[in-house]
Amino acid sequence: MGISIRAPFAGWSSALGEIPDEVFARAMLGEGAAIDPTGNELRAPCDGEVISIAAARHAVALRAPCGAEILVHVGIDTVTLGGEGFTLHTRKGERVHAGDLLISFDLDLLADKARSLVTPVIVTNSERFRVVRANLDRALGAGDVLFELEATDPAATRPSSTEPAAAAGSSGARAVVSEAVVVAHAQGIHARPAALIARIAKSLPYELEIRARGHAANPRSVVALMSLGVRGGDELVIAGFEAAAAAGIAQIVERVRTLDGAEPAPQVHAPRVASIQDDPAFQPASHATRPCGVIASRGFAVGPAFPFQIDEPVVIEQGGGVAAEAAALERARHHVRARLQERAGSATRAVRDIMNAHLELLDDPQLTEVARAAIEAGKSAGFAWRASLAASAAALLATGDQRLGERAADLADLTRQVLHALGNEEGGRALLPARAILIAQDLTPSQLIEIDTTRLGGIALMAGGPTSHVAILAATFGVPMVVSLGAAPRGVRAGAEVILDAEAGVLLTAPDAADLDAARARVAQASARQAQDAAQAQQAGRLASGERIEIFANLAGSSADTRFAVAQGAEGCGLLRTEFLFLDRATAPDEAEQRRCYQQVADQLGALPLVIRTLDIGGDKPIPYLPLPAEENPALGLRGIRTSLWRPEMLDVQLRALLAVRPAVRILLPMITDVAEIAIVTRRLDGLCRELGVARPQLGAMIETPAAAMLADQIAAVVDFLSIGSNDLAQYGLAMDRGHAELAARIDGVHPAVLRLIAATTRGAARHGRPVAVCGGLASDPGAVPLLLGLGVTELSVVPSFIPRLKALVRALTFERCRELAQRALELGTSAEVRELLRSLP
């Protein structure tokens, strides 16, 4: 007979996998379910004893009479509130009955300050109990059965001690080895750090004990660890009862030392330019109808909700014979391969890159070998293919790397495509109403490509990630997109008007009439402004005070991208990335292939300038045919020009191809740190020019490191132009990895330190009369543009779709005003102060 665990409050139930936090979603704390609350009182999900209450009052654990330990954790990242908004109605050690009030909380405050309100309800000793029935994807009332548990063995239902779980070896035994460590993590050992520690402890073959604040706990038990009440600054002692335990103790100590960087953090973004929350005419109706997520593609939209779901095909496990199933899988893969190749042939660069990535996965030897082995074991083609890709997806997720985890979505997409090719009807393109806000659990690249994006106002996903391939496509198509919204949008009625603010990461699911009027007015104003900007986009970029500012486009190499850029008013290409030719292939492109691709872009631009950057590859973007030495920190290793000088034969092939393009291109060298690197390239370039009988083209250097910025006067003396890569300059100038989730919000290119590096660059260039461009993300930041121009930048290179807006912005500025603003910004101390200065401007 099952053990019933009841909903602690009313709300919408969902699987753990839908929680926007990998520790909970991957069941690292245990199995269970989630519920998105509509009430503000947490009640006991079962009879039992309160065995743990979080110091921040956001989580409580009970031990049921059967021994099951149930953790209820209100929301995600609520530990950072430090107890604000929570009121306790119980205490540790108290015996309670199902339905007793344990915690009350301020729902509006949590909705405003927490990353998500979705609440996990988990059995933390799931090695003894399993979830057998769960009431998911439905509205539940407080006290309704959320899920049922079943003991994994008869002995599991023996009542446990009311004391915090202790290590088996600790009762009377003396520690043989131990090590102390101070917890630097500000919130101490709460649910997620406890899960990370417990995962290590469970993998070790010997018993350990963790001691803190006068108590001891079994490190394999999440609840026991939480029960210690460890806070930031407390000392832990990890003890073992045999000499061999020293290695395991060292692993846990290292994990505790790195907790700040090890656990998942909220998705954060640089300060927004504008959002619906900044509009005084707009006042949200209710926090409860404003699920917050992560911005994947910026924009703003209002329109009818379009819940989108494709039923997964039913797959039969047993096959109909090895030969028949193997042949069926080959036919299905051939069909999908042909379709991907057809899509790639006529698509933009972004779409083509994703289709090519799917083609590589489709023929991946590990995936196909595992599937064939399953077929030989008697499984059907569909079952074998799905199992193979699911195993690889799980391995990617298990790395804990967000970007690798998002690649698991590509495997899910490819699974679906092959299963449909095996005989399941995929259906036609979704018939969307005009301005539709598509709402889905997740979305794959192939599904988005099948949708008529001209009728798509925006996309709101309950799961997904901001660097997924579908997010890249949404940005390419210019469709606003917010991901990781949790389960809140699930109950939105088809056709109901909703507001998607992808500048603030908010979906308003129940706006009132005033909300809708303000939102529609904003959309109308934006449309009118876009039309006006587009009408004037072919005019030359020029300040209101008359100074010429060139507006170029960053390109990835396709004819479609180049034509679009010219149509948007691009005055040339300020950055053609050549990596697209070298990635996702087994061998390097030869000179003929490179020359053909570069010439294709030059032909589309005609007489307009074309700046081509040499290969910017390294440990951060590895390629299989260029095995790099192992690097602990690829960002500080072989990158850009360093890699090219390490393999000069590849550089020579690229330079030959560039010298053959007509009209002559400008060559840009990445990751320069001093003139010695430029001198080496110059000698090789001059030799090739003499050999080919051509004049040396203009040569430029990218300013991406503080070293290059400080030596800009020396570098400008030996090159024809400088181009600032603001993304890397900010990363290296602030010593913060721009791929680090916890630091992403702090890596802001308007930080005064970065602005001073830009100022040093323009001063150095001015001594030799060299122009300075910015081709990084800062050039597309409307707030930063006046600062860049005021510091002496004369060229901006941006994504093509932003060019009309950028030209309109430049036309409204005067140089004196920009210079005054830049000088004020240079005297400030933080990026927040600079952003506040920009917001205060009339």
Contact, 75 vs 191, CB < 8 A?
A: no
Q: Are 19 and 34 in contact (CB under 8 A)?
A: yes
Name the catalytic one among 66, 292, 775, 818: 775
CA distance 488 to 500: 14
Residue 140 and residue 487: Cα distance in Å, rounded?
Answer: 13
How far lies 159's CA from each of 63, 110, 747, in Å? Answer: 9, 35, 51
Are the C-beta atoms of 55 and 231 separated by less than 8 Å? yes
Strand order in the sheet with 215-217: 177-182, 235-240, 208-212, 215-217
| Residue 125 contacts residue 69 (beta carbons within 8 Å) | yes
334 carries an active-site annotation: no
Residues 6+ apart with CB under 8 A from 684: 648, 651, 652, 655
C-beta of residue 69 within 8 angstroms of C-beta of residue 167: no
C-alpha span between 603 and 411 (Å, rounded): 37
Cis-peptide into 304, omega within 30 deg: no
Q: Which residues contact 585 (CB under 8 A, 6 or more apart)?
A: 623, 625
Q: Which of 73, 185, 358, 469 is catalytic?
A: 469
**DSSP conformation class of 414:** H
Residue 72 near residue 121 (C-beta atoms within 8 A): yes
Q: How far apart are CA 65 and CA 512, in angstroms?
A: 48
Whose structure tokens read 């609520």? 78
| Structure-block tokens of residue 573 | 């290409």
For helices 469-477 and 402-421, give the axis angle rounded to 10 degrees.
90
Q: Are 553 and 800 in contact (CB under 8 A)?
A: yes
Residues 6+ apart with CB under 8 A from 297: 459, 471, 474, 475, 478, 479, 480, 481, 502
Does residue 469 have an active-site annotation?
yes
Give the number of other Cβ atoms within 10 Å of residue 53's Cβ: 22
Q: How many CA atoms lie within 13 A of 271 on its CB side?
A: 20
Pairing of strands 573-576, 550-555: parallel
- Known catalytic residues? 469, 775
